[in-house]
Every structure is written in C-alpha cells, then in structure tokens.
Amino acid sequence: MKTNAKKSIMNLAPVFGLIVLVAAFLIVGHMKGINISYGLKSVINQSVVVAVVATGAVFIYTLGSFDISLGASVAVSAILGGMVYIKTGNLLLMFATCIGVAVLVALTNSVLASIFNLPVFVTTIAMLSVLNAMVLLLIGINGTGSEISVPSDAVAHLDNIPFKVAVLALYILACVFIFNFTPIGRKEKFLGGNPLCAQLTGISIKKYSIIAFIISGIGVGLGAFLSIVYAPTLTRSTASSVGMDVIIAIVFGGMPVSGGARSKIYAALIGAFSMTFLSQIMTLFNLNSGIGQIVKAAIFILVVFIAASNHRQKELPR
C-alpha cells in the first residue's frame, strides 16, 4: 500500500513540479509586481508549439526511438506553407501544406527505416541534414533570400490564445484517445517495452513505427502552422530550437527515454509548460543567460531524478 502510494507520487512528480513552478511564478511575480495575466498569456504563446510537436513525438518515444529532425521538419513545413500562402493567398492551403509536408517528411523517415532495416533514429539524423539544407535552399530561392514573410495581417486574427489553446486541446485529446484507448497506443507501449516479445506476438514494428511517425507528423504540421501564426517572418533560424526543446520537454515531463509501458502522453504538455514557467521565473530574478541556463539545468536534473527514481533499475534488459 505504502509502496503504491510512493509510486503514484513519484509518477506524478513532473505534475507536482509544474504546480510548484506555477506557484513560484505567481508568488514571485506578485512580489515583483509583474503583469501576471499578460505573463500567463505569454507562457501559453511560448509553450504551444513545443507542446503540440512534443505530444506527437511521444508516440515515437514510446517505441523507444527518437526523432532528431523534428525542429527542422517544423521549419521546412512552415517555410513551404508560407511560400504557398504568398503564391495563393489561401490560408487553408497554407495549413494543408504545413500538415502535408510534415507528414510526408515523417513518412519518409519511417519508410526509409523500414526499407533499409535501420533504426528509425538513424534515418532522422540523415533527414536532419537534408531538411537543414532545404531550409537554406527554400529561403535562398524566395524574395530577398534572407526571409519569407507571410503578411502579418493574414494571420493576425489567429494569433490569439483561444485559437491556440483550441488547436492544442483538440490535438492532445485526439492523441490521448489513440494512446490510451485504442490498440495503437497499447501495442506501441508493448513494442517500446519489449520489442522482441511484441514481434513474437505478431505486432509489426514497421507498421506501428509508420503510424507513430504519421501522428507525430501531424503534430509537426500543426506546430509549423502555429509558428507562422505567432511569427510570420520565417528565416533560416526558424524553429531551430524546437528540436532540442521537444526532447527536453518530453524528458522534463516524466517520459522514460526508453519508452514502453511507462510512457505518458501528458508528459509533453507538462514538460513544455514547465520549461516555459522556469524560463519566466529566471527572468523574474533577472539572471543573466549563462547563470539562468545552469539553474535551469540543475532543476531539470532534479525533476528528472525524482521522476526516474521510481523505476530506475527495474527496466527489462533491452
């Protein structure tokens, strides 16, 4: 009984971590007299892209794999989406392009891995280089060559909190349903926990890795669209930090890097918002970026340590 309670507490450590960070933000913010309502809006604005992309990426992490090209995929999808808007002036077409390109990239990753029988993360490393080169090429062939600018008026009506929260909520609800209430989620956890055993029971690792990448691709596409809505000027650096932020958010949210049965779909959401609250708190203390990064790293290690201490050394050999 005591062990179960401890296990539950440890499982919820990232959630408690987020609650503590929110409380710290509100208390310190109140003491320093900041504009808290604006700050909360700002947190949502800064978290939403990473939260959406990371939520989709949980499906990949659940398989015990990872995709290093997510940030570059967001950039390419956003740039192509932006170029389509500039040519057509059609917002819906821009949205479809973002989703289509991201899913295509994800499919390429997973199908290539299947054809060459390689671990998926290997193809994502190659894809990262290809996508980075594509960003440079696409930026280079358009306009001045330094940027692609979607007119801010075109997306201004979407740059509001209700729209972003709605997109995030709908996508997360869909992912929660697939992850927790369909055979897809269960089989992916099984594959992540013990791939050999799962394959022996007839579960196709290729099929489920393709499904995982498609779901992740939809998240990347939504992230690309939301990136354009937030900052319509796209450059070679657009979304350059998203890839790393996604990895940090997922781990920060309590997702085991080995995937498997302990994977949590909500980890991405918790992690993305925790990171942003942490950054906001660092700013409240006016720490210079170097010290702020060290403090953030220490808190990150602490949260992950607590979250992982529940199941450390209890992994099945892989």
Partner 1 sequence: MKKVLSLLLCIALCFTMLVGCGGTTNGDKDSDTKAETQAETQAETQAAETKEADVATEADVETEADNGIDMSETVKIGVLVADVTTAEALAFRSYYTQYIQNQYNVEFVYSDALKDSADEKSAIDTFITNNCKAIISFSSFDRMAQIDQCAKAKVYYAVATGTLTDEEYEKVKTNEYYVGAIGPSLDIEYQTGYDMAKYYLDKGVKNFAIFGGAVPYYTDMHIYRVAGMLAAMADATGADYQGAKGPAIVGKIYETADVKTGSIGDVNILGYVGGYDMDDAWFGKIAEVAQTSGLEMILAVGNGSDFFGTAVNGTDVKIASVDAYADSYGAAMDAGILDYMAGKFSASIGPIFAITYSAALGAPIRDNDGNAVALGQGYWVATSPEQFKEYYSVDNSLDAPAYDKADLDTLIGSDYATLEKFVAAYTFDEIK
Task: Give the residues lining the site for partner 1 (CB under 8 A).
Answer: 29, 32-36, 38-39, 41-42, 45-46, 49, 140, 144-147, 149, 152, 227, 230-241, 279-280, 283-295, 298-299, 301-302, 305-306, 309
| Burial of residue 277, with CB atoms counted within 10 A of its CB: 0-12 exposed, 13-18 middle, 19 or more buried | buried
Distance, in Å, from the CA atom of 126 to the CA atom of 312, rounded to the nearest integer, reads: 32
Please provide the distance, in angstroms rounded to a whole number, between the alpha carbons at the two ends of the chain: 30
What is the smallest separation between the CB atom of 296 and partner 1, expressed in angstroms? 10
Query: What stretches of the chain adopt beta strand conformation (E)?
Result: 148-149, 233-234
Spatial neighbors of 8 by CB under 8 A, at least 6 apart, are none
Nearer to partner 1, 148 or 212 (CB): 148
SS3 assignment, position 148: strand
Nearer to partner 1, 119 or 292 (CB): 292
- If the CB atoms of residues 180 and 309 are measured against partner 1, the closer one turns out to be 309
Nearest to 299 by CA among 28, 17, 46: 17
Find residue 233's DSSP bridge partners. 149
Rounded-to-5 percentages of helix, strand, coil across the chain: 75, 0, 25
Please, what is the minimum distance in Å from the beta carbon of residue 182 to partner 1?
Answer: 34
- Output the smallest distance, CB 207 to partner 1, in A: 35
| Residue nearer to partner 1 on the CB measure, 162 or 290 | 290
Query: Minimum distance from CB of 286 to partner 1 (Å)?
Result: 5
**Least distance (Å) from partner 1 to the CB of residue 135?**
11
Q: What is the DSSP string of 196-230?
A: HHHHHTT--HHHHHHHHHHHHHHHHHHHHHHHHHH
Neighbours of 310 (CB within 10 A): 17
Nearer to partner 1, 74 or 210 (CB): 74
CA gap 266, 20 in Å, rounded? 17
Please state the closest distance from residue 152 (CB atom) to partner 1, in A: 6
How far apart are CB 272 and partner 1 at their closest, in Å?
13
